[in-house]
Amino acid sequence: MHVTDDAIGGLIDAKGHIRAAWRPVVDAMQAIGAEEFAARAAALDRRARFESPSSTADTPHLDPIPVPMFDHEFADLAAAVIERVETLAALLDDLYGPQQCIADRSLPGASLFTNPQFVRQLARQSGLAGPRLGLYAIDLIRHPDGGFRVLRDHTDRASGLGLALAIRRFVAEVMPELFGAVTLASQRPVIETLQDVLHYHAGGGPIGLIAGADADAADARLLARQIGGMALRPDDLSCTSGALRLRTLAGSTPVHLLLRLGSSLGIDPLEQGGHPSLGVPGLFRALRNGAVTMLNVPGSAVLQHGDFKAHYHDLFWRRHGRAPRLLENVGVAPSGFNADQAPVAARTADAGSARFDFAAVTLRLFAVLINGVWRVLPGGLGYAARADGTRLVKDIWVIDSGEADAGAPGPAQRAVPHAACRVATDLPSRLADDLLWLGRMVERLDASARLLSIALPRFADASNLPHEAAQRAMLAACLVNARLLPKETAGPYLSARLLHTTLAKRKPLADLLAEICRLLEHCGERFSVSMRSIVEAALDQIPRDGDGDPRALAACVRFVATFNGVIAEDASRSGGFVFLEIGRRLERAEALAETLTILLDGTLARLDPGLSLAIELADAQLSYEFVNAAPLSPAPAIALLIGAPDYPRSLAFQTEALGVALFRIGATNEAASAVAITASLTALVASITANAVNPAGIGNVLQAASDSLQTLASALAVHYFAPVPPGRQVWNTE
């Protein structure tokens, strides 16, 4: 397809002049300069990371220099894209339906039946609720003759659609000079109409964007925000009685619309095989029942195979009796086209020699099916590959010249809200569960590091004094209780050498760090860019193989302090972070109750060995001295460790904060249990102060508190996180 007769590239025409569409951009480039453009490019990257903090380090950079074209040029190109996608959609329906193109030998059967992307379980199924192809992307390159050629089709998933809907806003914030000289064709009619149609098909329920391990998490998050959807993982969903449901904190919610952003291979492990956590067992049955609409239906990637690309021209000719307007790129590498025609902002410049770079650009356009009509988004993404291997993403401008016809009006918008305001209970239960366990694992790491930093010197410099022998026995019991040491090792012959050997073999801290990293990755969408960068920087300072190294233990304590400080200062007090707070308080309360049960086992007159250890573990020496200007005494020390409402490491402080957080999420029964535990601890402290408690009473109350906390944790898991049993029967089409 020829866009213009004299165009030989994106920037320069056949006469060596700058094309009219590029003139406003070039004027701005000359006025701003290469160095300032490089600074704007860095600011653009920061803006994109702020909007999508889950992006990874290998995410392509954004370039502030757009790829402009006039509306009449884009109209011709969009018409050709619609012609192509309509043909591909009809071909896809035929391949999964009557397979007429196989019967009349216009396409070899081997191309279909040996294709790993062909999902046989969904062939010849007439009950699908929506079209098989609803989102489409196409990569184009400008040919030396001035036209465009097809580099590849994206029929499986329209990768980059989220960024395409957001990049214009990012560029406008850092490059306002570019937007003052031109009028761009608005993307809003297409976006808003798409939102309305998607919410209509969702039937009042959530719009789920299911993103597998191979999906771009940043793009999924941007797309979810633009359409008012929720980015989900497969384990957030379950199929029961042929319907798809989302597990949220408010219960099981039906899902009627899914946008698939990951691979379709193994998306239903019940029928396709594979690990259950990588897919949704029973999803194919829900699709066949018409209970859920999916864009795009699994198996649509079959059209991306090379055999279909080779036969497309003949298939199109048989269908339309003419050649397609868009031709395939054959035999020429994309880098061979106009490598010196598209400018990109230089990110590094030598002093005194700042300049713009140039690179070949691949255009990616997006088409969406709205009420049976294909619409091409006026814009898209330009992918530029520089000589040093850097990939840049550019916005595509469609300049309103005032000459092109307005065209037919789009589909009527429906009176459906674009986005619903979600409360905390609408969070996927998986996300809340991960946040709760992230809080627990961080506190467990802190308690383990503090315990080891106190225990290791005492075993290394062991003496035969009865006082220190008693402390070593208590520390060994605490190490066993914290699962840092096996019970059979913690005998009377435990030495520093045996302790170091056991830690090096078992690596308990390394396991905790690995679990924290995993949970942090799963919960990363809830952390802002600054929060995540601070936490990850502190995490990187911990040696992964230093379980017995004092420097590693100190680094663990510093990481926990950094993490808790970030959460306290930057995290919301509602939503998912409430569960992180619950996890922190629950873990610290359980650990304190169990540790104090071991250390305070004895009469009040003979608690000195364990009491001094408890004060040291809680880092409460200065707090005790500030309140009590006297040597260590059992009654005030126990009151500080157990019942002080204003000391952040006392047991009652944890249970009181736990009750407040549980009330915040509406867990009234569990909150009442936490309040009852706090009341029992307060009564214990009052009895100790009045010398009205026997020695065994301390251990009994602490053990009862520990048991109650474990019961509370189990009830919380059943209430919010118990999985819905997925369907296990296979639908038999015969």
94-125 pLDDT tens trace: 888 888 888 888 888 777 888 888 888 888 88
**Looking at the structure, do residues 364 and 495 belong to the same domain, yes or no?**
no
Start-to-end C-alpha separation, the chain: 47
**Looking at the structure, do residues 564 and 643 belong to the same domain, yes or no?**
yes
pTM value is: 0.78
**Looking at the structure, do residues 255 and 331 belong to the same domain, yes or no?**
yes
Q: Is 562 left (phi over 0), alpha (psi -120 to 50) or beta?
A: alpha
Which pLDDT does position 533 carry in this prediction? Answer: 84
**Looking at the structure, do residues 457 and 315 belong to the same domain, yes or no?**
no
Sorting pLDDT into bands at 50, 70 and 90, what band is 432? confident
* Residue 699 belongs to some domain of the structure: yes
Residue 143, pLDDT > 80, answer no
Q: Radius of gyration of the chain from Cα atoms?
A: 32
Picking from 298, 293, 282, the residue whose alpha carbon sits closest to that of residue 731 is 282
Which pLDDT does position 555 carry in this prediction? Answer: 92
* Residue 309 belongs to some domain of the structure: yes
The helix/strand/coil state of 382 is strand
Residue with more model confidence, 694 or 691: 691
Which pLDDT does position 351 carry in this prediction? Answer: 43
Picking from 86, 128, 152, 113, the residue whose alpha carbon sits closest to that of residue 295 is 128
In angstroms, the CA 220 to CA 216 distance is: 6
CA of residue 546 relative to chain centroid, distance: 30
Mean pLDDT value of segment 669-684? 92
Which pLDDT does position 708 carry in this prediction? Answer: 93
- Cβ-based burial of 124 (10 A; exposed 0-12, middle 13-18, buried ≥19): exposed
Per-residue pLDDT reduced to its tens digit, 262-321: 888 888 888 888 777 778 888 999 998 888 998 888 988 888 877 777 788 888 888 888
**Looking at the structure, do residues 397 and 529 belong to the same domain, yes or no?**
no
Specify the range with the lowest mean pLDDT, choosing from 68-72, 84-88, 246-250.
Answer: 246-250
* Residue 549 belongs to some domain of the structure: yes
Picking from 76, 121, 124, the residue whose alpha carbon sits closest to that of residue 97 is 124
Most trustworthy range by pLDDT among 340-354, 499-513, 694-708? 499-513
Specify the amino acid at residue 570: D
Q: Is the dihedral of CA 577, 583, 586, 588 positive or negative?
A: negative
Which pLDDT does position 513 carry in this prediction? Answer: 93
Using an 8 Å Cβ cutoff, are 379 and 47 in contact? no
* Residue 293 belongs to some domain of the structure: yes
In angstroms, the CA 62 to CA 41 distance is: 7
In angstroms, the CA 4 to CA 22 distance is: 15
Using an 8 Å Cβ cutoff, are 528 and 53 in contact? yes
**Looking at the structure, do residues 403 and 512 belong to the same domain, yes or no?**
no
* Residue 181 belongs to some domain of the structure: yes
Using an 8 Å Cβ cutoff, are 54 and 218 in contact? yes
Using an 8 Å Cβ cutoff, are 647 and 640 in contact? yes
For tokens 């062909």, the residue is 118
**Looking at the structure, do residues 321 and 336 belong to the same domain, yes or no?**
yes
Q: Is the dihedral of CA 455, 460, 465, 470 positive or negative?
A: positive
State the virtual CA torsion across 313, 319, 325, 330 in degrees, nearest 10: -10
Q: Which residues pair with 669 in a beta bridge?
A: none
Please identify, among 422, 439, 472, the residue that sits at the C-terminal boundary of a domain: 422
In angstroms, the CA 500 to CA 484 distance is: 11
In angstroms, the CA 604 to CA 619 distance is: 21
Using an 8 Å Cβ cutoff, are 88 and 303 in contact? yes
**Looking at the structure, do residues 407 and 436 belong to the same domain, yes or no?**
no
Residue 695, pLDDT > 60, answer no
Picking from 110, 238, 229, 218, the residue whose alpha carbon sits closest to that of residue 170 is 218
Please identify, among 422, 442, 465, the residue that sits at the C-terminal boundary of a domain: 422
Here the tokens at position 133 are 């192809």
**Looking at the structure, do residues 445 and 397 belong to the same domain, yes or no?**
no
* Residue 65 belongs to some domain of the structure: yes
- In sequence order, which residues have a C-beta less than 8 Å from that of residue 672 and are 6 or more positions away? 659
Reported as half-sphere exposure (CB side, CA atoms, 13 A), residue 337 has a value of 26
Sorting pLDDT into bands at 50, 70 and 90, what band is 343? confident
Q: Is 514 left (phi over 0), alpha (psi -120 to 50) or beta?
A: alpha
**Looking at the structure, do residues 451 and 384 belong to the same domain, yes or no?**
no
- In sequence order, which residues have a C-beta less than 8 Å from that of residue 667 and are 6 or more positions away? 716, 719, 720
Structural domain count of the chain = 2
Picking from 298, 270, 296, the residue whose alpha carbon sits closest to that of residue 116 is 298
Picking from 189, 144, 143, the residue whose alpha carbon sits closest to that of residue 379 is 189
Using an 8 Å Cβ cutoff, are 168 and 331 in contact? no
* Residue 57 belongs to some domain of the structure: yes
Picking from 638, 640, 662, 642, the residue whose alpha carbon sits closest to that of residue 651 is 642
Residue 176, pLDDT > 80, answer yes
Q: Which one-letter DSSP state was computed for residue 186?
A: P
User: Cα separations (Å) of 263 from 159, 215, 540, 551?
Assistant: 11, 8, 32, 44
User: Cα separations (Å) of 504 from 147, 307, 326, 592?
Assistant: 65, 55, 63, 26
Q: Is 269 left (phi over 0), alpha (psi -120 to 50) or beta?
A: alpha
* pLDDT above 70 coverage of the chain, percent: 86
Sorting pLDDT into bands at 50, 70 and 90, what band is 53? low
In angstroms, the CA 632 to CA 646 distance is: 20
Q: In what order do the strands lie in the sheet with 243-248?
A: 237-240, 243-248, 251-254
Backbone angles phi, psi at 342, to 5 degrees: -105, 115
* Residue 569 belongs to some domain of the structure: yes
Per-residue pLDDT reduced to its tens digit, 434-462: 999 999 999 999 999 999 998 888 888 76
For tokens 């021209």, the residue is 313
Mean pLDDT value of segment 541-560? 86
β-strand pairing of 237-240 with 243-248:
antiparallel
Please identify, among 406, 422, 438, the residue that sits at the C-terminal boundary of a domain: 422
Domain that holds residue 633: 429-721
Mean pLDDT of the chain: 81
**Looking at the structure, do residues 227 and 360 belong to the same domain, yes or no?**
yes
Using an 8 Å Cβ cutoff, are 344 and 357 in contact? yes
**Looking at the structure, do residues 405 and 505 belong to the same domain, yes or no?**
no
Mean pLDDT value of segment 46-50? 78
